[in-house]
A and B are shown apart, each in its own frame.
Chain A
């Protein structure tokens, strides 16, 4: 904390990563032992800092408030008379442990920063041919249709009420065919910043059959263009954006140029569909 310049508004309020970061700074500033924290003093300075943040109209994250409440709890516990046996735990023990653990993380981060500074100038070259993903053996088209049917069946098991509202929606939307391009964008936005999205969850989110089919085709398109990577885990098939192909050029709001031709219109499930 900046103790100087108390009268004028202090625009150079130090920004902390979180409440633990702030507490560590206060402990270092007061040169006190992490295992023997003068709670009343630290709490007072902690609240002063929050007050300054408020004065500067800074948004105070919820965790700062939670931590303040915890500090107050510890302070009140400290005021209680110790039991004569004297065997109970120091109310500050958990806080000390948490602070120590965070301090370790901060020190490790410092060391990593030094290493990064020294070594990040190592350049590799991009492979001429991107490595081909290895396909598991025994793949068959019937697997796809079976998976698709399973999804449709599972969707039927949804609670009645939800289903009814879905049906209503479906009727309202039945005239609309969902373009694959739209689902490609939807899918990329969904996967952006989301390391693992389950294939099943993705399809359950689709409301109509048209949406379902379009989403599935969108996924195939993205796989073909190697924008999306599949991985097989115990929890089912997981999807994630292929990082190797993203590097700065594909933001979630940007449709990859080679995918724009994928505007395939998918017919909805409608009884009046002309027979081929």
Chain B
């Protein structure tokens, strides 16, 4: 794709890796600012691949530049999130009350117990079907699935190749953002067995 993309700025790769020379450092800095601009304009999470393609550099360098941007955000009210292979700008959690006070942002609202259970089952077993979710919960879950789809926390990623072709659901980058995860590997470990042996669930965490 990079080859036919004549509009992109093509930076020499070596220059980006070793910012020794002033001109090369400028190129690198320019690429970083370009990424910053794209992420700001996008609002949503942008795949590293897209960023790399647009700026005309390789994915590894793009990822490194994003890490630098994230560091630069430490002293700011916004943060650069790493959501799987995507990057996204968003505000820092601690400033939520001030944002609400100034803009009267309607809170996204909590999630019902049913919605959280369905989300958990999908998150830990994705991609999976409604039937599987309902089997685990032992009860109808279509309403909760609709809610989660509307909130953009899960999405339909295809169909299972069995009779009836049921929809397969998986979590979205939006899910990672709102639950503070940078990838699905960070989902907390669940040890139901150990806890079930104890009369009370201690500690909570």
**A interface, CB within 8 angstroms of B:** 17-21, 31, 33-34, 61, 63, 67, 98, 100-116, 118-129, 131, 193, 195-196, 233-235, 238, 240, 243-244, 246, 248
Contacts and interface: CB of A to CB of B under 8 A. Distances in A.
A111 B93 contact: no
B139 A121 contact: no
Interface string B179-205: 111000001101111011101000011
Given A34-B196, A104-B192, A196-B167, A19 B138 contact: yes
A118 B178 CA distance: 9
Nearest to B152: A243
A17 B190 contact: no
Given A102-B138, A125-B43, A115 B123 contact: no
Interface residues of B, number: 65
A51 B41 CA distance: 58
Contacts of A127: 41-44
Contact of A195 (B41, B90, B149): B149
Contacts of A31: 199
A63 B138 CA distance: 7
Contacts of B20: none
Contact of B93 (A105, A122, A240): A122
Contacts of A240: 156
B29 interface: no
B177 interface: yes
Contacts of A103: 192, 195-196
A109 B159 contact: no
Given A100-B193, A124-B44, A243 B93 contact: no
Nearest to B133: A105
Contacts of B178: 116, 119-120, 122
Given A114-B204, A116-B179, 5 more contacts: A17-B139, A112-B116, A116-B110, A119-B177, A123-B91
14 contacts: A17-B114, A17-B117, A61-B140, A103-B192, A104-B192, A105-B124, A108-B123, A108-B188, A109-B116, A112-B123, A113-B116, A125-B43, A127-B42, A195-B149
B137 interface: yes
A233 B159 contact: yes
Nearest to B205: A114
Given A116-B111, A122-B177, A20 B138 contact: yes
A123 B167 contact: no
Contact of A123 (B105, B116, B179, B187): B105
Interface in B102-155: 105-106, 108, 110-111, 113-114, 116-117, 119-121, 123-124, 136-140, 145-146, 149-150, 152, 155
B99 interface: yes
A195 B169 CA distance: 10
B158 interface: yes
Contact of B121 (A105, A129, A233, A248): A105
A115 B179 CA distance: 5
Question: Which of A34, A63, A67, A102 has the most chain B CB within a 10 Å cutoff?
Answer: A102
Given A103-B192, A103-B196, A104-B190, A128 B167 contact: no
Contacts of B156: 195-196, 238, 240
B192 A233 contact: no
B90 A115 contact: no
A124 B91 CA distance: 7
Nearest to B166: A196
B179 A119 contact: yes
B62 interface: no
Contacts of B120: 105-106, 108-109, 111-112
